[in-house]
Amino acid sequence: MGDPLDKARVPQATVPRLARYLRVLHRLERDGVAKVSSQELAEKLDANAAQIRKDFSYFGEFGVRGVGYEVSFLIAELSRCLGLDHQWNVVICGAGKLGQALARYRGFREEGYELVGVFDSSSHVVGTPIDELSVRPEKELAQFIRENSVHIAVITVPAEAAQGVAEKVIEAGVRGILNFAPVKLAPVDGVFVRQVDLSTELMVVSFYLAQDRD
Binding site for a second copy (CB under 8 A): 7-8, 12-13, 15-16, 18-20, 22, 45-46, 80-84, 86, 88, 90, 96-98, 100-102, 104-108, 110, 112-113, 151-152, 154, 175-178, 182, 184, 187, 190, 192, 194, 196-214
Q: C-beta of 180: minimal distance to a second copy in Å?
A: 9
Q: C-beta of 139: minimal distance to a second copy in Å?
A: 24
Nearer to a second copy, 132 or 212 (CB): 212
Nearer to a second copy, 66 or 129 (CB): 129
Nearer to a second copy, 1 or 207 (CB): 207
Nearer to a second copy, 127 or 139 (CB): 127
138 contacts: CB under 8 Å, gap ≥ 6: 93, 119, 120, 121, 165
Q: C-beta of 64: minimal distance to a second copy in Å?
A: 26
- β-pair type (69-70, 35-36): antiparallel
Q: C-beta of 175: minimal distance to a second copy in Å?
A: 6
Q: Is 146 helix (H, G, I), strand (E, B) or coil?
A: helix
CA dihedral 87, 89, 92, 97 (to 10 degrees): 40
- CA of 128: how far to CAs of 34, 62, 131, in Å? 45, 49, 10
Longest dimension (CA), the chain: 61
Q: Are 82 and 55 in contact (CB under 8 A)?
A: no
